[in-house]
C-alpha cells in the first residue's frame, strides 16, 4: 500500500471528516489513478484511506477514516446496500430517485439515479472509476434493478483526467423510461437528457408548487428554465389555467409538450417559448404581460465560489425581472443550484433584486433538495440547491 504524506497543518480537514485533500496539501507520495492509498499527517500518523487522483486538483478522496477498515469489494457492497436502504425509509412518492449521492453516501464521485428498474450512474472521480465493476455488481444486488446505463459525461470527468463514457453497462434497449412522480407521468431519456435524465432533486418542490398554485388560486403560470416541464405539470395539476414553459432547449420543450398530454391536460393550457429567459422576461414586460406564479430554476451560474460575483449579477437580473412581471399577490419560486452560492448570499441577491424592482414581498418558505440528495454534516459543498418562495405584496 502506498502512502501519501500531507504537509504540516494540512491534516485538519481530514480530521474534521471532510473527505477531500487538494493538490497543494500533499507533501510527497504518488499512486495510480484511483489507487487506494494510506494518507498520513506530516508526523506519519494515519488519517484516512483514500483514492488517489493524479490529474485532479482534488488529489485525494477519503474512503474511510478508520484505520481498521479494509477498502475492498465488501466495503462497496455495504455502503451501497446502506444507501439504498436509507432511501426506502424516506417515503418518496416516486419510482425515480437518487440511490447514491456521492460523498454523502461515503462514495465520493459516484451518482446513481434509479428510474423504475433501470439505473443511471455517473462515475465522476478516479476512485469510483477504478472500482466500477464491483460497484455495478453491488448496485444490481442492492437495488434489484435489471439494467444499468452509464452517463459519465459530466465536465468533472475532464478535471479528473477521465475520458467521457456513456452507454449500457448492463442490459440494453431503449433509453427512454417512463416514471411516476406524485402520480404524474414523465418520460426520461437516459441517453440524451440533462444530468442522468431528470431533475430528481426538485421532486418535492414540484409537489409543493402544485399545492401552492392550488392554495393561491394562481391562474397564469410562467415556468422559466422549464426543462421537460416538471413544474408546469405540477401547476396544471394544482389547477392553473395556463402554463408557459420557457427554455433554450428545443428537445426539452418538445418533451414538456408531451408531458402535458401524457398527464391528461388539454394542450391549449400550455405554451412553449424557445428563448433565453432573461430576454423573454424583458419582452414580456415590454408587452405588459403579468403572471400569477413564476418559477425560476436556472442552471448553475456559479459552479464554484470564485464565480459567485458574476453569478450574483445574473441571478439578480432574472429575479428583478420576474418580480416585476408578477401580478400583485403573485408567487415566485426562485432557485439557485450553484454550489458556489451560499444560502445567505442567495437571499441577499434576491432581496437586492426586489429592492431594484421596487417590489415588496415576503419569504414564506425556504426550499432545498429532496431528501434522497442528502448532505453530510462534514461536507458543506454538498449543499447546492436552495430556493425561496416569495409572495409579492398586493
Give the one residue of 52, 231, 265, 384 binding ligand SAH; rule: CB under 6 A: 231
Q: For helices 132-143 and 73-88, give the axis angle rounded to 10 degrees.
A: 40
Nearer to ligand SAH, 172 or 286 (CB): 286
CA distance 371 to 195: 18
* 224 labelled catalytic: no
| Residue 80 vs 284, nearer CB to ligand SAH | 284
* Rounded-to-integer distance, Cα 220 and Cα 331, Å: 11
Strands (DSSP E) contained in 192-302 are: 220-224, 242-247, 270-274, 291-296
Cβ at position 124, least distance to ligand SAH in Å: 19
Closest approach, Cβ 388 to ligand SAH, in A, equals 15
- The pair phi, psi for residue 182, each rounded to 5°, is 50, 35
384 part of the interface to ligand SAH, by CB under 6 A: no
Q: Toward ligand SAH, which CB reaches closer, 27 or 276?
A: 276
Which residues from 253-312 bind ligand SAH, rule CB under 6 A?
276-277, 297, 299
Q: Which of 112, 136, 252, 296 binds ligand SAH (CB under 6 A)?
A: 252
Catalytic residue of the set 337, 345, 354, 359: 337
Q: Classify burial at 335, counting beta carbons within 10 Å of its beta carbon; exposed 0-12, middle 13-18, buried 19 or more.
A: buried
Interface with ligand SAH (CB under 6 A), residue from 129, 247, 292, 372 = 247
Alpha-carbon distance of 166 to 248, in angstroms, equals 24
Cα separations in angstroms, 287 against 87, 120, 290, 388? 47, 43, 9, 27
> Minimum Å distance from CB 382 to ligand SAH?
19
With CB under 6 A as the contact rule, which of the stretches 84-92, 224-232, 346-354, 377-385 interacts with ligand SAH? 224-232
Residue with cell 424583458: 282
Distance CA(336)–CA(305), nearest Å, equals 13
Nearer to ligand SAH, 106 or 197 (CB): 197
> Is residue 387 a contact point for ligand SAH (CB under 6 A)?
no
Place of cell 449521492: 101
Q: How far is the CB of 333 from ligand SAH (least distance, A)?
A: 9
- Going from the C-alpha of 239 to that of each of 209, 210, 232, 380, the distances in angstroms are 11, 8, 11, 38
Segment near ligand SAH (CB under 6 A); pick from 22-30, 46-54, 154-162, 226-234: 226-234
Q: How far apart are CA 172 and CA 157, in angstroms?
A: 24
Under the criterion CB under 6 A, does residue 372 sit at the interface with ligand SAH? no
Min dist. Cβ of residue 373 to ligand SAH (A)? 13
Site string for ligand SAH, 172-211 (x = CB under 6 A): ----------------------x----x--x---------
Closest CA to 269 of 310, 312, 233: 233
Q: Report the DSSP pairing between strands 96-101 and 36-40.
A: unpaired
Applying CB under 6 A, the site for ligand SAH has a residue count of 18
58-64 and 20-22: which strand pairing?
antiparallel
Q: Which of 225, 265, 315, 384 binds ligand SAH (CB under 6 A)?
A: 225
Query: Whose Cβ is closer to ligand SAH: residue 33's or residue 388's?
Result: 388
Residues acting as catalytic residues: 337
**Which spans of this chain sit near ligand SAH (rule: CB under 6 A)?**
194, 199, 202, 225-228, 230-231, 246-249, 252, 276-277, 297, 299
Amino acid at each position: 500500500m502506498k502512502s501519501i504524506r500531507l504537509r504540516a497543518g494540512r491534516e485538519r480537514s481530514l480530521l474534521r471528516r471532510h473527505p477531500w485533500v487538494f493538490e497543494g496539501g500533499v507533501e510527497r507520495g504518488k499512486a495510480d489513478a484511483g489507487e487506494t492509498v494510506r494518507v498520513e499527517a506530516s508526523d506519519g500518523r494515519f488519517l484516512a484511506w483514500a483514492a488517489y487522483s493524479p490529474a485532479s486538483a482534488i488529489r485525494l478522496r477519503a474512503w474511510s477514516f478508520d484505520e481498521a477498515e479494509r477498502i475492498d469489494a465488501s466495503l462497496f457492497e455495504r455502503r451501497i446496500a446502506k444507501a439504498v436502504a436509507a432511501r426506502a425509509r424516506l417515503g418518496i412518492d416516486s419510482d425515480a430517485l437518487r440511490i447514491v449521492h456521492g460523498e454523502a453516501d461515503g462514495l465520493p464521485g459516484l451518482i446513481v439515479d434509479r428510474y423504475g428498474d433501470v439505473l443511471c450512474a455517473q462515475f465522476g472521480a478516479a476512485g469510483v472509476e477504478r472500482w466500477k465493476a464491483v460497484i455495478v455488481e453491488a448496485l444490481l444486488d442492492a437495488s434489484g434493478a435489471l439494467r444499468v446505463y452509464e452517463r459519465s459525461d459530466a465536465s468533472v470527468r475532464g478535471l479528473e483526467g477521465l475520458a467521457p463514457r456513456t452507454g449500457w453497462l448492463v442490459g440494453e434497449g431503449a433509453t427512454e423510461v417512463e416514471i411516476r412522480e406524485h402520480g404524474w407521468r414523465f418520460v426520461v431519456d437516459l441517453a440524451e437528457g440533462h444530468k442522468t435524465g431528470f431533475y430528481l432533486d426538485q421532486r418535492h418542490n414540484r409537489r409543493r408548487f402544485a399545492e401552492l398554485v392550488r392554495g393561491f388560486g394562481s391562474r397564469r403560470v410562467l415556468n422559466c428554465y422549464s426543462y421537460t416541464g416538471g413544474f408546469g405539470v405540477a401547476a396544471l395539476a394544482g389547477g392553473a389555467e395556463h402554463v408557459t414553459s420557457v427554455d433554450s432547449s428545443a428537445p426539452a420543450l418538445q418533451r414538456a409538450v408531451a408531458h402535458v398530454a401524457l398527464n391528461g391536460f388539454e394542450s391549449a393550457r400550455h405554451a412553449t417559448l424557445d428563448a433565453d429567459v432573461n430576454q423573454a422576461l424583458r419582452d414580456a414586460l415590454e408587452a405588459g404581460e403579468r403572471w400569477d406564479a413564476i418559477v425560476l430554476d436556472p442552471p448553475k451560474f456559479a459552479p464554484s465560489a470564485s464565480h459567485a460575483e458574476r453569478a450574483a449579477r445574473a441571478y439578480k437580473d432574472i429575479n428583478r425581472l420576474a418580480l416585476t412581471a408578477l401580478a400583485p399577490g403573485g408567487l415566485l419560486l426562485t432557485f439557485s443550484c450553484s454550489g458556489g452560492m451560499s444560502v445567505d448570499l442567495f437571499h441577499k441577491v434576491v432581496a437586492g433584486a426586489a429592492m431594484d424592482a421596487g417590489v415588496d414581498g415576503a419569504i414564506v418558505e425556504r426550499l432545498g433538495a429532496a431528501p434522497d440528495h442528502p448532505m453530510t454534516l462534514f461536507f458543506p459543498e454538498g449543499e447546492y440547491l436552495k430556493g425561496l418562495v416569495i409572495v409579492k405584496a398586493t
